[in-house]
């Protein structure tokens, strides 16, 4: 992958960034997403935020190699601290991190949000707690997608702050829009997860050492939910 050829995952994320956006890509690593979008003239400006030094340097290098220093500001910062009000950011992408990590970045960084930004989120697992945070903070989910690249399934969640919104436990777990559309890719993801959860449950119940009952119950509850979905 490079800024000329994005992975399918980042290509699908790129498709959700509104034309002409002022983008903040947080956890940008090599800054492939903002650089690819800028090279296509798809966005007007970007901030690439990165907390860790090595990926921060990689982002600086990609931006420099593409001579985009005047359009993309690379900043070493924790989460949304990379964003200033004067950036007038209109879209924030947080991709390739666990859903809980993305949730924590959003929660800790609320002071940096105007509430007008489109959030384009691509969690690697932990979608349920992320959707819970979106609901609790009045973000409506406008678009969801499941895709498979190599052996992995990925979800993309796009949300905007529109006012109070209520999602059921099933909608938070599976995704309100994914649940409605029940695409073949969505069903394939949950068929695989069902097999994985069943394996986990049999390992837990067969374990020699005591396993917290709460954990067993949680996995059993997930199996019930997924079985009902696929019935």
Ligand X SMILES: C[S@@+](CC[C@H](N)C(=O)[O-])C[C@H]1O[C@@H](n2cnc3c(N)ncnc32)[C@H](O)[C@@H]1O
Residues engaged in binding ligand X (CB under 6 A): 10, 26-29, 49-52, 55, 78-79, 95-97, 101, 105
Distance of closest approach, residue 60 Cβ to ligand X, in angstroms: 13
71 by Cβ neighbours in 10 Å (0-12 / 13-18 / 19+) ranks as middle
- 46 close to 73: Cβ distance less than 8 angstroms: yes
Whichever of 78 and 137 has its CB closer to ligand X, that residue is: 78
Distance of closest approach, residue 191 Cβ to ligand X, in angstroms: 25
Whichever of 26 and 91 has its CB closer to ligand X, that residue is: 26
Q: Are strands 21-26 and 43-50 parallel, antiparallel or unpaired?
A: parallel
User: Residue 179's closest CA among 167, 189, 170, 169?
Assistant: 170
What the block records as the tokens of 46 is 């970007």
141 by Cβ neighbours in 10 Å (0-12 / 13-18 / 19+) ranks as buried
Whichever of 95 and 130 has its CB closer to ligand X, that residue is: 95
Cα–Cα separations (whole angstroms), residue 175 to 13, 58, 141: 17, 34, 9
Distance of closest approach, residue 82 Cβ to ligand X, in angstroms: 7
Whichever of 74 and 105 has its CB closer to ligand X, that residue is: 105
Q: Which helix (H) or strand (E) holds 50?
A: strand 43-50
Whichever of 95 and 119 has its CB closer to ligand X, that residue is: 95
Distance of closest approach, residue 104 Cβ to ligand X, in angstroms: 8
Q: Any idea what DSSP says for residue 81?
A: G
User: Residue 15's closest CA among 95, 120, 105?
Assistant: 120
Whichever of 11 and 218 has its CB closer to ligand X, that residue is: 11
Distance of closest approach, residue 37 Cβ to ligand X, in angstroms: 13
Distance of closest approach, residue 58 Cβ to ligand X, in angstroms: 8
Cα–Cα separations (whole angstroms), residue 10 to 3, 166, 173: 10, 29, 23
């Amino acid at each position: 992958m490079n800024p000329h050829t994005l992975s399918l995952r980042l290509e699908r994320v790129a498709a959700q960034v509104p034309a002409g956006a002022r983008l903040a890509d947080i956890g940008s690593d090599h800054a492939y997403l903002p650089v690819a979008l800028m090279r296509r003239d798809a966005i007007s400006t970007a901030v690439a935020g990165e907390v860790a030094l090595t990926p921060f340097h990689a982002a600086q290098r990609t931006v420099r190699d593409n001579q985009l220093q005047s359009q993309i500001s690379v900043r070493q910062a924790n989460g949304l601290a990379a964003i200033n009000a004067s950036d007038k950011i209109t879209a924030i992408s947080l991709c390739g991190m666990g859903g809980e990590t993305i949730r924590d970045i959003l929660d800790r960084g609320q002071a940096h949000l105007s509430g007008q930004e489109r959030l384009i989120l691509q969690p690697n697992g932990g979608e349920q707690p992320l959707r819970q945070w979106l609901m609790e903070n009045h973000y409506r989910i406008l678009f969801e997608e499941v895709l498979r690249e190599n052996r992995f399934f990925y979800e993309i969640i796009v949300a905007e702050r529109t006012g109070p919104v209520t999602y059921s436990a099933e909608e938070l777990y599976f995704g309100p829009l994914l649940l409605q559309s029940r695409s073949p890719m969505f069903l394939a993801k949950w068929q695989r997860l069902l097999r994985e959860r069943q394996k986990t449950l049999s390992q837990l119940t067969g374990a020699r050492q005591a396993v917290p009952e709460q954990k067993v119950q949680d996995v059993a509850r997930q199996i019930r939910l997924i079985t009902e979905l696929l019935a």
